[in-house]
């Protein structure tokens, strides 16, 4: 190696830790910036999100009570004049667990009122929680709303997703049967047969399995 090459190597910014030395000021600013972001994040979580979540939870209590009483369900949606309802909780306290549950309640209540477009709007805002029962039920309600709107391709999509979300003897056969019925409307008799057979073989003790042989025989004649 020549003398010039040795000198150039010694001057290399990557040599002997000189990168850290030459960029020490920049690194100080980067570290300080990261620290500031961490402080902001912690403050956001505990000084903003946590109090909002607690306030939303307290507001949800009365709304949930109203939601279980047929004559008071409109108050559950819009509030009673002194307390806000589920719709405002969902809008004003977004990013909280209570807002998520408010959207689930609203979807079910609007379905009951046959306001299917509003039901779809709120059910699609629901974020899955990991619950093996609740998540499939909400997904299945979306299937119901689309089925009522006669948007059968989307209804089938959500019924299938609900049936497959978690395998259990309650939600899985329930939505498999709804899926099969939608397939029949679409003249997809092979798909309907497959869903019915799955109920028969995997969930013979379920309510949906009662009379399943007749459903299977019917679609087999139409294939």
3-class DSSP string for the chain: CCHHHHHHHHHCCCHHHHHHHHCHHHHHHHHHHHHHHHHHHHHHHHHHHHHHHHHHHHHHHHHHHHHCCHHHHHHHHHECCCCECHHHHHHHCCCCHHHHHHHHHHHHHHHHCCCHHHHHHHHCCCCCCCCCCHHHHHHHHHHHHHHHCCCHHHHHHHHHHHHHHCCCCCHHHHHHHHHHHHHHHCCCHHHHHHHHHHHHHHCCCCHHHCCHHHHHHHHHHHC
Q: Provide the pLDDT for residue 82.
A: 87
Q: Provide the pLDDT for residue 50.
A: 62
Q: Provide the pLDDT for residue 12.
A: 46
| Positions in the chain short of pLDDT 50 | 1-17, 19-20, 27, 34-35, 38-49
Q: Provide the pLDDT for residue 87.
A: 95
Q: Provide the pLDDT for residue 150.
A: 95
Q: Nearest to residue 171, comparing CAs of 208, 215, 217?
A: 208
């Amino acid at each position: 190696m020549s003398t010039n090459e040795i000198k150039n190597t010694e001057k290399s910014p990557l040599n002997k830790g000189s990168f850290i030395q030459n960029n020490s000021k920049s690194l100080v600013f980067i570290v300080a910036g990261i620290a500031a972001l961490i402080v902001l994040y912690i403050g956001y979580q505990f000084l903003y999100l946590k109090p909002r979540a607690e306030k939303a939870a307290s507001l949800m209590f009365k709304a949930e009570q109203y939601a279980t009483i047929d004559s008071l369900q409109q108050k559950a949606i819009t509030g009673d004049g002194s307390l806000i309802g589920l719709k405002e909780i969902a809008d004003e306290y977004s990013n909280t667990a209570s807002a998520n549950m408010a959207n689930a309640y609203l979807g079910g209540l609007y379905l009951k009122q046959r306001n299917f477009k509003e039901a779809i709007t709120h059910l699609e805002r629901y974020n899955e929680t990991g619950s093996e029962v609740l998540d499939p039920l909400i997904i299945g309600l979306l299937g119901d709303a689309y089925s009522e709107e006669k948007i059968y391709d989307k209804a089938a999509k959500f019924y299938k997703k609900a049936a497959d979300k978690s395998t259990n003897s309650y939600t899985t056969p329930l939505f498999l049967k709804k899926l099969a019925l939608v397939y029949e409307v679409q003249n997809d008799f092979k798909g309907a047969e497959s869903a019915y057979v799955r109920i028969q073989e995997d969930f013979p003790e379920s309510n949906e399995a009662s009379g399943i042989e007749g459903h299977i025989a019917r679609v087999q004649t139409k294939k």
